[in-house]
């Protein structure tokens, strides 16, 4: 009996060692000089690397990822427009830290304030936009926390719109990655400004107009091939933070560091994380959107069948060492009854990777097909008769 137990223990140890070796081959060791770090693929939300991902930490101006997200949502649904005029309040003008030195009662367009927030990380512009959207910074912070809850950000509490050190204002690297993914997935137009190195606004005050230069706080834009954004941050409590985004060969990555010891280290560590991601992972994609993959029968229509196209892009992140590709199963409806309209669902395409389903896409009807009527039937009979 004792020999059997020894054999079982030895087998278990070997199994654990083999699993560890296999994992090491897929995911090489990586350490990051920061309190917390995460690499995420934004479309799938898959985490490729994590280091204390859920530790609650001050995040400084990386807070503005949520502020920017809510601004772009307001622009998208028409609550505000780029040309709207914003009058700067005393509260907004009084923000310290990073700013564009807005004055009380100065008027700026929404577009110029957005540039100031995204490019120059301006606290005063952030609060001015918060007041424009919600009426007060406090009400805007309520919107920030509500959105954090919707996104599943379990270790986040916002107390202000710009990230100044305040008791109870914190987030985690995982949560920062979640809100960053929401921003770039839903509002890729933000890249217009996150990739801009320098721009200007014009101060319009009682003393006249004066041009003011904006310089991007994110050196990744200059330093890293494929960098697309996103947001820096630093305070005495948060130290140096960064949510970086990049894209190469169809693979988008978000790399977050919170609590790096100095400003250059945060950029170096995020670049190291990007290099790790692009060296070890790739995007396995399904059939491109709009591709015709078959046709579906039409009953009682002027056409007997109609082509189907792929609605959504589906993909997953896989190790570059993987030899497997995406498997796909096309399921087409037995038939549709006319009238049928362009965009109606006529089937779906199911994707699997190594036997596990990773996503689906509807197959959409490519054109309208009206119901057949008596004149159509007579026309068909005439054609058959003369043929």
Is residue 272 among the annotated active site residues?
Answer: no
Q: Catalytic residue, from 36, 61, 98, 116: name it.
A: 61
Q: Catalytic residue, from 121, 171, 260, 361: name it.
A: 121
> Long-range contacts of range 190-195, CB-CB < 8 Å, 24 or more positions apart?
190/68, 190/72, 190/118, 190/229, 190/230, 191/228, 191/229, 193/114, 193/115, 193/118, 193/119, 194/118, 194/119, 194/218, 194/221, 194/228, 194/229, 194/230, 194/231, 194/245, 195/221, 195/227, 195/228, 195/229
Backbone angles phi, psi at 39, to 5 degrees: -115, 130
Q: Take residue 148 and report the two structure tokens written for it.
A: 């954090």
* CA–CA dist 315, 381 (Å, integer): 48
Contact 285, 313 (CB under 8 A): yes
Is residue 61 among the annotated active site residues?
Answer: yes
Q: Catalytic residue, from 35, 43, 64, 219: name it.
A: 64
Alpha helices in the chain (DSSP H): 2-26, 64-76, 90-93, 110-120, 123-134, 137-150, 173-186, 191-194, 220-223, 263-280, 374-386
Positive or negative CA dihedral for 286, 287, 290, 296? negative
* CA–CA dist 40, 33 (Å, integer): 18
According to DSSP, the residues that pair with 363 across neighbouring strands are: 310, 347
Query: CA dist 182 to 55, 101, 176, 188, 289, Å?
Result: 21, 30, 10, 10, 21
Is residue 324 among the annotated active site residues?
Answer: no
Catalytic positions: 61, 64, 121
């Amino acid at each position: 009996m004792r020999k059997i137990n020894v054999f079982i223990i030895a087998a278990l140890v070997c199994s654990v060692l083999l699993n560890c070796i296999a994992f090491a081959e897929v995911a090489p060791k990586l350490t990051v000089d920061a309190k917390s770090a995460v690499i995420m693929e934004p479309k799938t939300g898959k985490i490729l690397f994590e280091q204390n991902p859920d530790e609650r930490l001050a995040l400084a101006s990386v807070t503005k990822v949520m502020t920017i997200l809510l601004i772009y949502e307001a622009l998208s649904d028409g609550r505000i427009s780029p040309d709207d005029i914003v009058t700067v309040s005393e509260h907004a003008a009084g923000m310290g830290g990073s700013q564009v030195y807005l004055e009380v009662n100065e008027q700026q367009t929404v577009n110029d304030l957005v540039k100031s927030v995204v490019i120059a990380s301006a606290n005063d512009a952030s609060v001015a936009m918060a007041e424009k959207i919600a009426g007060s910074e406090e009400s805007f912070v309520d919107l920030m926390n509500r959105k954090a809850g919707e996104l599943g950000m379990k270790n986040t509490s916002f107390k202000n719109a710009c990230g100044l050190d305040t008791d109870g204002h914190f987030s985690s690297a995982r949560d920062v990655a979640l809100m960053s993914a929401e921003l770039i997935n839903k509002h890729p137009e933000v890249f217009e400004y996150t990739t801009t190195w320098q721009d200007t606004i014009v101060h319009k005050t009682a003393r006249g107009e004066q041009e003011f230069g904006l310089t991007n706080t994110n050196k990744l834009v200059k330093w890293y091939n494929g960098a697309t954004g996103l947001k820096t941050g630093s305070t005495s409590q948060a130290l140096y933070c960064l949510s970086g985004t990049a894209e190469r060969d169809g693979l988008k990555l978000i790399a977050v560091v919170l609590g790096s010891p100095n400003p250059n280290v945060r950029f170096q560590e995020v670049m190291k994380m990007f290099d790790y991601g692009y060296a070890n992972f790739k995007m396995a994609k399904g059939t491109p959107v709009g591709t015709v993959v078959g046709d579906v029968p039409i009953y009682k229509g002027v056409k007997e069948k109609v082509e189907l196209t792929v609605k959504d892009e589906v993909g997953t992140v896989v190790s570059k060492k993987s030899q497997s590709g995406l498997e796909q199963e096309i399921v087409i409806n037995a038939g549709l009854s006319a009238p049928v309209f362009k965009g109606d669902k006529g089937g779906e395409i199911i994707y699997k990777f190594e036997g596990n389903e990773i996503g689906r896409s509807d197959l959409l009807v490519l054109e309208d097909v009206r119901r057949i009527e008596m004149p159509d039937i007579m026309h068909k009979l005439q054609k058959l008769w003369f043929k």
